């Protein structure tokens, strides 16, 4: 099972994950940072940059208690709240990170969700 070994914050709301299989993934978290727990991360770059791996939880976390499901990060899954949004509200959340393998690392690209 692939796990997150470490994380590095990048510019804007992007992060780079270092995985236990030796691969790297760069992910744009902007589409996922919605809701009250993530708003402080949007307002404070300092807080966003506190991202680290919680080995017990097996995912990335921040000082304010925010975290993201590792399946979303590692396996390109859609967060549960994306699917729970009423259809009329999905227009502002209609993008998600799609990660493509490129040699020994991944690059994130944004594409429209197909619905």
Residue whose C-alpha is closest to residue 30's, from 42, 19, 18: 42
Q: For 58, left (φ over 0), alpha (ψ -120 to 50), or beta? A: left
Q: Is the pLDDT of residue 2 over 50?
A: yes
Report the pLDDT value the prediction gives residue 79, as an integer from 0 to 100.
Answer: 76
| SS3 call for 31 | helix
- What tokens were used for 105? 């690392």
Stated pTM of the model: 0.69
Where along the chain do its domains lie? 4-112
Report the pLDDT value the prediction gives residue 85, as an integer from 0 to 100.
Answer: 53
Residue whose C-alpha is closest to residue 28's, from 115, 113, 114, 106: 106
Q: Is the pLDDT of residue 109 over 60?
A: no
From the number of C-beta atoms within 10 Å of its C-beta (0-12, 13-18, 19+), residue 35 rates as exposed
Report the pLDDT value the prediction gives residue 22, as an integer from 0 to 100.
Answer: 95
The whole-angstrom separation of Cα 60 and Cα 26 is 13
Q: What is the mean pLDDT of the chain?
A: 77
Report the pLDDT value the prediction gives residue 21, as an integer from 0 to 100.
Answer: 93
Per residue in 14-67, pLDDT (tens digit) is: 999 999 999 999 999 999 999 999 999 999 999 999 999 999 988 999 999 999
């Amino acid at each position: 099972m692939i796990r997150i070994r470490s994380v590095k914050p990048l510019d804007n709301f992007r992060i780079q994950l270092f995985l236990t299989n030796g691969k790297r993934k760069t992910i744009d978290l902007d589409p996922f940072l919605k809701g009250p727990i993530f708003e402080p991360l949007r307002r404070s770059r300092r807080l966003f940059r506190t991202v680290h791996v919680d080995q017990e939880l097996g995912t990335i976390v921040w000082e304010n208690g925010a975290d993201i499901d590792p399946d979303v990060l590692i396996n390109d899954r859609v967060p549960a709240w994306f699917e729970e949004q009423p259809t009329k509200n999905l227009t502002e959340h209609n993008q998600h990170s799609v990660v493509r393998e490129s040699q020994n690392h991944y690059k994130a690209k944004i594409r429209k969700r197909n619905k």
